[in-house]
Amino acid sequence: MTLISNHLPTAELQALDAAHHMHPFTNGGELEAKGARVITRAKGVTLTDSDGNDYLDAMAGLWCVNIGYGRDELAEAAARQMRELPYYNTFFQTTHVPAIALAQKLAELAPGDLNHVFFAGSGSEANDTNIRMVRTYWAQKGQPEKNIIISRKNAYHGSSVGSGSLGGMTFMHEQGGLPIPNVHHIDQPHWWAEGGDTSPEEFGLERAGQLEKAIKDLGVDRVAAFIAEPIQGAGGVIIPPETYWPEIQRICDKYGILLIADEVICGFGRTGSWFGSNTLGIRPHIMTVAKGLSSGYAPIGGSIVCDEVAQVINNCEFAHGYTYSGHPMTCAVALENLRILQEEGIVDRVASHTGPYLQEKWRGLAEHPLVGEAPIVGMMGSIALTPDAARRAKFAADQGAAGLKCREHCFRNGLVMRHVGDRMIISPPLVMTDSEIDTLVDRAWTALDLTLAQLKKEGLMEAAE
Ligand code: PXG
C-alpha cells in the first residue's frame, strides 16, 4: 500500500486527489486542471500548505474553528473518550455521560427555555431533524396539515435533501429534485443588493412583512414554522436592517408560528454573544447548532429545543435519529471546546474587545475605492465590491468575477478570505490577537488594491445599468 503522507510532493498529492477524491461544491474537471491546494498543518489562526506557504485563516476553516487551531486539550479530550467509550448509541433507552453533560451544558448556555437537545452529526442533519420535528409537533397537536415551513431565498441551511430544500439557493434546487414539498421561500432582507430607493428601515419592515403575507396567503392552519439564520452567512454575511428581526418576532408571536433560528454560523461567540439570537433579540423555539459547537474539531450538530416543543415530541415516539446522534467522542470534544470558550472568556472578549477592534478596522475598508459597504457584527463581516458605490451598482461583467479575482489576490498574499459573488466575507477565529487583525485588514486592503488595478486593466470597472 502506498503510504500517502505530508512528505509526498504536492503534484503527486494533487494527482491522487483528482483521481479519487470528489470535492463538495467543486467543478471536478476545473480542479483537476488546477490542482487542489493541499493544507497540511494549522496552528492558532494560521494554515500551512504542502509547499510551506502560510495563510492567515480569516474564515476559521468553514466558519467553525472559533477557538483557533492546535488546541491540545481537544485532542486529549477525544483520546480520553475514545479509550473509555469510543462509541455507544443513544437509541433504545440508553445514554452516556458525554451526551448528558453536553446536553446539560447547552441548555445552560442557550437562551430562554431552550432546555432540550436532539443531537445530529452536522448542521444539515440537524435541520432535517427540525423539518420532521416541527411537522410532528403540529401533527401531535392534531394539526397534521400545518406542515409548511417558510424560509428565505439565498438562505443556506445545509445540503441534504431536506436542509437543501429549506435553503434558498436556486442553483442547489436545480440538482437532485429539490425542494421537497411544502417549503415556501420569501425574499431576503438584503438592503444593499435589493433595497432600491427605500431606506434600510423601511426595507427591513417590507421584507419581514412578506412573512405575514405568506402566512395569510398559505393559511395560518398550514404554516408550521419559519426558519432563518440570524445573519445570513453563506449567502454573503447579510446583516438585516434593525427593523427586520423585531417585526419577524412580532409576526411569529401573533400567528403562533414556530421560529427556528439557524445558529450554525452565528452560534458560539461569532456575533459577540453565545448565540446570534442573543445579539439580535430573537426568541426562537428551536436553534440549529453545529460548526462552532466543537470549533470544527469533531463533526457534531444538534437542535436545541424549547420546553413546549420538547414536551409534545417526547409524548410520542419520534421515529428519528442518527447512528452518531450524541456520539461520545464528538460530545466530549464539544464540551471541552465550550469549556475553553467560556473559561478563557473568549465569547466575552469578542463583545468587549476583539469584536470592536476588528469592526473598527474592517469598517475602514469602506474607504477603499472598490468597496461600497463593509458591514460587520461581532466577528462576521463582508465587503461589497462595486464599480460605483454611490449607486450600489453591480459590475456589468459576470457577477462574481471581481470577487473571484479578489480571493485569488488574497491567497497570493497569505490571506484566506472567501467571496460570495462580488461580496468578500470573513469569519475569523475568535481568538485573533490585535496584531493578527491588523495583518488581516492590511492584507485585505492590498488584495483590494491589486483587484482594482486588475479590473481597470481588463476594462471591467463598468457598472451594470
Ligand atoms: N446552517 C447554516 C446556517 C450553515 O451555514 C449548515 C446549516 C449546514 O451545516 P453542515 O454541517 O451540514 O455543513 C450551514 C453550513 C460556505 C459554506 O461556503 C457554508 C456552510 C457549509 C459549507 C460551505 O459558506 N454552512
CB 262 less than 6 A from any atom of ligand 1: yes
Ligand 1 atom at shortest distance from the alpha carbon of 125: 12
Residue 445 Cα to ligand 1 midpoint, Å, equals 27
CB 387 less than 6 A from any atom of ligand 1: no
Ligand 1 atom at shortest distance from the alpha carbon of 266: 3
Angstrom distances, CA of residue 282 to CA of 18, 67, 104, 149, 457: 44, 25, 22, 18, 46
Ligand 1 atom at shortest distance from the alpha carbon of 301: 11
Angstrom distances, CA of residue 304 to CA of 82, 106, 110, 166, 278: 25, 8, 8, 18, 14
Angle at 103 between CA 61 and CA 340, to 5 degrees: 45
Residue 233 Cα to ligand 1 midpoint, Å, equals 8
Residue closest to 385 by CA, chosen among 441, 425, 423, 442: 423
CA distance linking residue 55 with residue 58, whole number of Å: 9
For a pocket test of ligand 1, which of 149, 165, 171, 265 has the largest count of ligand atoms closer than 8 A to its C-beta?
Answer: 265
Q: What is the DSSP string of 398-464?
A: -TTHHHHHHHHHHHHTTEE-EEETTEEEE---TT--HHHHHHHHHHHHHHHHHHHHHHHHTT--PBP
CB 290 less than 6 A from any atom of ligand 1: yes
CB 422 less than 6 A from any atom of ligand 1: no
CA distance linking residue 205 with residue 251, whole number of Å: 11
- The size of the chain, in residues, is 465
Residue 124 Cα to ligand 1 midpoint, Å, equals 7
pLDDT of residue 2: 58
Three-class SS of residue 120? strand
pLDDT of residue 4: 72
Local confidence pLDDT in tens for the 465 residues of the chain: 557 777 789 999 999 999 999 999 999 999 999 999 999 999 999 999 999 999 999 999 999 999 999 999 999 999 999 999 999 999 999 999 999 999 999 999 999 999 999 999 999 999 999 999 999 999 999 999 999 999 999 999 999 999 999 999 999 999 999 999 999 999 999 999 999 999 999 999 999 999 999 999 999 999 999 999 999 999 999 999 999 999 999 999 999 999 999 999 999 999 999 999 999 999 999 999 999 999 999 999 999 999 999 999 999 999 999 999 999 999 999 999 999 999 999 999 999 999 999 999 999 999 999 999 999 999 999 999 999 999 999 999 899 999 999 999 999 999 999 999 999 999 999 999 999 999 999 999 999 999 999 999 999 999 998
CB 169 less than 6 A from any atom of ligand 1: no
Angstrom distances, CA of residue 390 to CA of 133, 371, 393, 450, 463: 46, 10, 8, 22, 11
Residue 123 Cα to ligand 1 midpoint, Å, equals 7
Residue 229 Cα to ligand 1 midpoint, Å, equals 11
Residue 197 Cα to ligand 1 midpoint, Å, equals 32
Residue 125 Cα to ligand 1 midpoint, Å, equals 11
Nearest CA residue ID for atom 16, ligand 1 = 234
Contact 417, 63 (CB under 8 A): no
CA distance linking residue 402 with residue 456, whole number of Å: 11
For 65-119, write each residue's pLDDT tens digit: 999 999 999 999 999 999 999 999 999 999 999 999 999 999 999 999 999 999 9
Nearest CA residue ID for atom 20, ligand 1 = 234
CA distance linking residue 392 with residue 203, whole number of Å: 15
Ligand 1 atom at shortest distance from the alpha carbon of 123: 9
Q: Where are the beta strands (DSSP E) in 179-238?
A: 183-186, 223-228
CB 233 less than 6 A from any atom of ligand 1: yes
In the structure grid, which three cell numbers stand for residue 153, read together?
431565498
Nearest CA residue ID for atom 17, ligand 1 = 234
Ligand 1 atom at shortest distance from the alpha carbon of 158: 8
Ligand 1 atom at shortest distance from the alpha carbon of 160: 12
CB 157 less than 6 A from any atom of ligand 1: yes
